[in-house]
Structure 1
Amino acid sequence: MALKKRLEDFEKAVKRLKDAYQETLKHKEDDYYTLNLLEMIDDRNITSHTYHEEVAEKIFNNLHIYLPLVEKVKEEIKERTKSI
Structure 2
Amino acid sequence: MTAWVHGRVQGVGFRWFTRARALELGLVGHATNQADGRVLVIAEGPRHALEMLLDWLRSDVTPGEVRLVVESWEPARGDLTGFVER
* TM-score (normalizing by structure 1): 0.28
Structure with the greater alpha carbon radius of gyration: 1
- Which is strand-richer, 1 or 2? 2
Task: Pick 1 or 2: higher relative contact order, CA cutoff 8 A, min separation 6.
Answer: 2
* TM-score (normalizing by structure 2): 0.28
- Which is helix-richer, 1 or 2? 1
